[in-house]
Every structure is written in structure tokens, then in C-alpha cells.
Amino acid sequence: MKPYLFLLLFSLTCYSQKNNRYPLLDDKFLVTVGVYWPSDDYKIGVNGTFAEGQFNFDESFDTKNNHVTPLLAFHWRFTKKWHVNAEYFQLGYRRSTELEKDIEWGDYTFKAGSFAKGGIYLNMFRVVLGRTVYKSDRFLAMAGLGVHALNIKAFIEGSAFLNDQEFEGERFSVRGVAPLPNITLSSFYAFSKKISGSVSVDWFALRIKEYSGGLWDISPVLYFQAFDHLGFFAGYNFFDFNFKFDNKRWVGNLDASYKGPSIGITSNF
């Protein structure tokens, strides 16, 4: 009788452990694939020679509408305490319009009433190495160090004036590449077996030789576990940064922000 009683107790213990398991808190891998609808805002300054030379790219080229972009993310818990997060998205557009205001680009001026073409592109790759600082059955708190690798390009093309002399069909472009370290704090909570939520906050402020700037990245997300290894997510992302560049490709500054919802599917295993 004792062997049967032992097997019964062992089975009940295993069932209880399995029943108390929350997959998104315990599985090693979480992959998310979705789309992001951010509204964006860019203010650009070139050459740093104009105190008021920064102009609003979105207002100048009428691009205030939301843009849809793919969003990819990967989470790997390689030990009980340590994990790696990776995330990628890109945004870009180009637009031709009649300028309502003068645009100063370095020593050149694109005058109001003329037609110009403008474009801006950004690729963002985020990697974080994090450690669990607290864990319970339903709650997880983490902290880490990471990097936002940003590749930013912008251009304007049209008739430009320099000292009242017109140059037709001129194209001017700038480019900045910034690997930006950041501090990350994040938390995860399982409301039930099916519904979970997370919040992450990234912050950065630094000044080195070629650039200086700051960054905020805030992302609350809600997860729905539809099946054992497949689910859905809906979130909101606020991403704001400002930089001053001083190199051969860009002497100037950029203030940019993105904010908007995201949805997609998750796979955990």
C-alpha cells in the first residue's frame, strides 16, 4: 500500500507544480512578431550655425499621420537569474511638398513657396542583458544594462539659396550612427493563466566626444495566452530621444519622439 500512496503523493505534487506554472514567467524563450503604429515628431538642426535653425520635419513635409512598421522582439532566459532581450524596428518616409516656411539647412536656405523633397529614416536595434532581482509565483522584477543602436538618415532636395544665389536640384543629406547605452527596469505580472502584463523603462543620458543626448523608452504590454505555446499581445510604446552630433557626416542636432500602439502574436517555449 505504501508504494501506491507514495506514487499518489508524487503525482499530486507534480500536478500542483504544473498547475502553478505561468508560461511567460518560466519558459526560456519568448518571441514576439507584430506591427507598430507610431505617430512621430522630428526637429532637425544642421551645422549648428543657426541659433534658431532647427526646423520641424513633420510640419514642413506634412507627415503627421501614423506610420505602420514591423516590430520584432526576442527574450531568452538562459539561466534562472539572467536573460537577454533584443528588439528591432525601422521607420522611414519621403515626401514632396510646397514649403510654407523657410528651411535653413547648414548655410543654405530652401525658401517658402518653393517645392522640395524631404526624407528621414531610422533603424533601431535594442539589446539588454538583465538579471532577475525578485520573483514570486506571479510577479517578476528585473534590472539590466543595454544599448540602443540607432542609425538615422535625413535629406532635403530642391532649389537652395546661398547668399541670394540659387542652386537648383541640390540635395543635402546627413547621417548619424549612435550606439547608446541605457539602464533598464522591467516587471512582469501574471493576472491569471491566460492574461499577463509587463512594463519596461529604459533611460540614458551621456556626453562623449562626437555626440551627447538623452533617451526615454517606456513600454507597457498586455499578453493573452491563447494556447500552450502561442498567444497575442497589445501594447503602447513611447520613445523619445535627443542628440547633438559633431562628426564629418552631421554637425547639428536631432530631437525625435515616437508614440503609439502595437499588436501581434507571441510564441513561448
For residue 65, the model assigns a pLDDT of 61
For residue 50, the model assigns a pLDDT of 41
Question: What is the mean pLDDT of the segment spanning 225-252?
Answer: 88
Tell me the pLDDT of the chain averaged across its residues. 84
Better-scored residue on pLDDT, 223 or 18: 223
User: Judging by beta carbons within 10 Å of its beta carbon (0-12, 13-18, 19+), is residue 95 exposed, middle or buried?
Assistant: middle
Confidence of residue 51 (pLDDT cuts 50, 70, 90): very low
Confidence of residue 208 (pLDDT cuts 50, 70, 90): low
Q: Where are the alpha helices (DSSP H) in the chain?
A: 2-19, 23-26, 57-61
Is residue 47 scored above 70 in pLDDT?
Answer: no
- 2-268: CATH homologous superfamily? OMPT-like (2.40.128.90)
Say which DSSP state 125 is in: E
pLDDT in tens, 130-179: 999 999 989 999 999 998 888 888 899 999 888 888 888 878 888 887 77
For residue 64, the model assigns a pLDDT of 61
Confidence of residue 246 (pLDDT cuts 50, 70, 90): confident
pLDDT in tens, 102-120: 888 878 888 898 899 988 8
Better-scored residue on pLDDT, 93 or 197: 197
- Residue 195 sits at the vertex; the CA angle it makes with 127 and 223, to the nearest 5 degrees, is 30
- Dihedral over alpha carbons 182, 183, 185, 186 (to 10 degrees): 30
Cα–Cα distances (Å) from 45 to 24, 53, 99, 150, 206, in that order, read 44, 6, 17, 18, 19
For residue 11, the model assigns a pLDDT of 39
pLDDT in tens, 4-21: 444 433 333 343 344 566
Q: Which residues of 252-263 are buried (b: 16+ CB within 10 A; e: fewer)?
A: bbbbbbbbbebe
Is residue 222 scored above 60 in pLDDT?
Answer: yes
Say which DSSP state 102 is in: -
Question: What is the mean pLDDT of the segment spanning 38-58?
Answer: 70
Confidence of residue 73 (pLDDT cuts 50, 70, 90): very high
Is residue 2 scored above 60 in pLDDT?
Answer: no
For residue 6, the model assigns a pLDDT of 45
For the chain, what are the domain ranges?
2-268
What's the full length of the chain, in residues?
A: 269
